[in-house]
């Protein structure tokens, strides 16, 4: 790669590193997508229909689980996981301090109390070594997030869970096909949730899937999923509500789109891994960058290629405001170069208003319930999550199929150009 020092940055009028239109959008729509979606449109059941049933069966087989339940979102699937694990009012669920908000608000949906654990800065996932210290007599489950497609080291989590008799929920919404010690995520815990949102590695526009090997958990999840009934829409229904329920079902059009994309998922994931490996090789010697890790036994799916800026090397360590200011300047310069990157999550979860206020449903519920115990959400208790939050930027589309070496090399050139010319900022 050519040395780019002294090149005028695009933010100041120089040439863009990534030409407009070079990076293809996600997802790639092909004939099979059109065929299945149009067939569904022309069918007679646009609610929970035959494509949803087939999608459940096909996804269960692909992921290697007994049960798969097609939902209208990954958030719904997470709520169903909480219920499937028997968690309820004032029960505590251990969660990471950094993730998407749904990873934690799903616990509030069933009046549970989230207990935050800081992340491991290297992996960006929950720090497995800090989980046990967060357990109390009220703890009912551990919810881990395979963030950005990197598996949590599940054997450590399961050892703690078994010791204390806890359930384990996997938030695998970003982690389709990620593998830990030879097994796909979604097969380690008691149940797991996947998302098929627009940005996910398996895109159906929206939608999600709960997976489990437990008959009992699947039955509990399906009851919440369909109005509190005990029979699925594809079965003979008595329309009697047996418990509190939501309407979390998937529609047939989404199921058709998901089935088409599932058939191409292995191909797409292989390209992501190839693109990520190339990008890492091109960025390895670029000054000021901390590249994503892939610890032994963890096979990333590269949903999001997340880099952090080495603020100590850049002379900004120890000053959070200056750190964020510099990160944001670098980000704007990267975007001007045509690099499709952004700050994925700008806040650690304990600093979000709903948790700071401890008021989910009014009158302080669920934290004010008589069975609840005080919990401390002070943001300073989670320094690694905050450090990550202040120094990261991530990208998805440049690594996605059908993008390949040309798009990755242009992206790497844009990053290198900015990092070698920071004095222009």
Condensed to tens digits (0 to 9), the pLDDT of residues 121-132 reads: 999 999 999 999
Cis amide bond preceding 248, omega within 30: no
Confidence band of 1 (pLDDT split at 50, 70, 90)? very low
Q: What are phi and psi of 61, to 5 degrees?
A: -65, -40
pLDDT reported for residue 167:
98
Report pTM: 0.96
Average pLDDT in the chain: 95
212, 244, 263 - which closes a domain = 263
Residue range 356-367, pLDDT digits in tens? 999 999 999 999
Residues 298 and 195 in one domain: no
Residue 302 lies in a domain: yes
Residues 189 and 230 in one domain: yes
Cα–Cα distance between 420 and 382 in angstroms, integer? Answer: 32
Residues 259 and 291 in one domain: no
Cα–Cα distance between 105 and 8 in angstroms, integer? Answer: 45
* Mean of pLDDT values over 368-381: 97
Residues 18 and 62 in one domain: no
* % of the chain with per-residue pLDDT over 90: 92
What's the Cα-to-Cα distance from 117 to each of 107, 109, 175, 289, 382, rounded to whole Å?
Answer: 15, 20, 20, 26, 7
Residues 155 and 303 in one domain: no
pLDDT reported for residue 2:
43
Give the chain's count of helices (H) and strands (E): 12, 13
Secondary structure of the chain: what % helix, strand, coil (to 5)? 40, 15, 45
Q: What are phi and psi of 389, to 5 degrees?
A: -55, -40
Element (H, E) at 420: none
Neighbours of 117 (CB within 10 A): 23
* Mean of pLDDT values over 295-303: 98
Residue range 155-184, pLDDT digits in tens? 999 999 999 999 999 999 999 999 999 999
Residue 184 lies in a domain: yes
As for how many domains the chain has, the answer is 2
Residue range 229-256, pLDDT digits in tens? 777 776 777 777 777 889 999 999 999 9
Q: Is the pLDDT of residue 18 over 50?
A: yes
Those residues whose C-beta lies under 8 Å from the C-beta of residue 260, and which sit 6 or more positions away, are 30, 32, 33, 35, 36, 37
Beta bridge partners of 307: 393
233, 263, 293 - which closes a domain = 263
Q: Which of 78-82, 101-105, 237-241, 324-328 has the lowest mean pLDDT?
A: 237-241
Residues 251 and 299 in one domain: no
Residues 152 and 300 in one domain: no
| Residue 210 · residue 80 · CB < 8 Å | yes
Residues 310 and 199 in one domain: no
Confidence band of 227 (pLDDT split at 50, 70, 90)? confident
Those residues whose C-beta lies under 8 Å from the C-beta of residue 318, and which sit 6 or more positions away, are none
* % of the chain with per-residue pLDDT over 70: 98
As given in the structure block, the two tokens for residue 323 are: 């750190």
Range of the domain at 241: 31-263
Q: Give the CATH number of the domain where residue 304 resides.
A: 3.90.1150.10
Q: Is the pLDDT of residue 3 over 60?
A: no
pLDDT reported for residue 113:
98
Taking alpha carbons only, the member of 65, 55, 80 closest to residue 212 is: 65
CA dihedral 350, 352, 358, 363 (to 10 degrees): -170
């Amino acid at each position: 790669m050519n040395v780019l020092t002294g090149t005028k940055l695009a933010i100041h009028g120089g040439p863009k590193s990534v030409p407009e239109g070079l990076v293809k959008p996600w997802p790639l729509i092909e004939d099979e997508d059109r065929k299945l979606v149009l067939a569904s449109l022309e069918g007679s059941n646009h609610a929970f229909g035959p494509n949803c049933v087939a999608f459940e069966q096909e996804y269960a087989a692909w992921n290697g689980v007994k049960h798969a339940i097609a939902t209208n979102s990954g958030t719904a699937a997470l709520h169903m996981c909480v219920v499937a694990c028997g968690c309820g009012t004032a029960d505590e669920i251990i969660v990471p301090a950094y993730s998407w908000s749904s990873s934690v608000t799903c616990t509030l949906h069933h009046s549970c109390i989230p207990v935050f654990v800081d992340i491991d800065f290297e992996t960006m996932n929950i720090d497995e070594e800090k989980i046990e210290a967060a357990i109390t007599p009220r703890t009912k489950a551990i919810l881990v997030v395979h963030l950005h497609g990197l598996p949590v080291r599940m054997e450590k989590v399961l050892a703690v869970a078994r010791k204390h008799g806890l359930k384990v929920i996997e938030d695998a919404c970003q982690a389709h096909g990620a593998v830990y010690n030879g097994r796909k995520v979604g097969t380690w815990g008691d149940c797991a949730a996947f998302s098929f949102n627009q940005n996910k590695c398996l895109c159906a526009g929206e939608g999600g899937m709960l997976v489990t090997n437990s008959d009992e958990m699947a039955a509990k999840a399906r009851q919440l999923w369909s109005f509190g009934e005990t029979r699925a829409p594809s079965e003979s229904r008595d329309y009697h509500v047996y418990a509190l329920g939501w309407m979390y079902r998937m529609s047939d059009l989404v199921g058709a789109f998901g089935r088409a994309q599932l058939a191409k998922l292995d191909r797409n994931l292989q390209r992501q891994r190839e693109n990520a490996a190339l990008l890492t090789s091109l960025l390895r010697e670029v000054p000021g960058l901390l590249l994503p890790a892939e610890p032994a036994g963890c096979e990333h799916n590269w949903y999001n290629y997340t880099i952090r800026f080495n603020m100590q090397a850049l002379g900004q360590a120890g000053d959070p405001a200056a750190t964020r200011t510099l990160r944001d300047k670098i980000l704007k310069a990267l975007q001007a170069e045509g690099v499709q990157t952004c700050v994925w999550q700008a806040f650690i979860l304990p600093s979000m208003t709903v948790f700071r206020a401890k008021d989910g449903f009014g009158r302080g519920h669920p934290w004010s319930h008589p069975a609840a115990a005080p919990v401390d959400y002070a943001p300073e208790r989670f320094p690694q999550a905050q450090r990550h939050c202040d120094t990261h930027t991530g990208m998805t589309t440049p690594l996605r199929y059908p993008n390949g070496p040309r798009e990755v090399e242009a992206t790497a050139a844009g990053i290198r150009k900015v990092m070698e010319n920071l004095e222009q900022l």
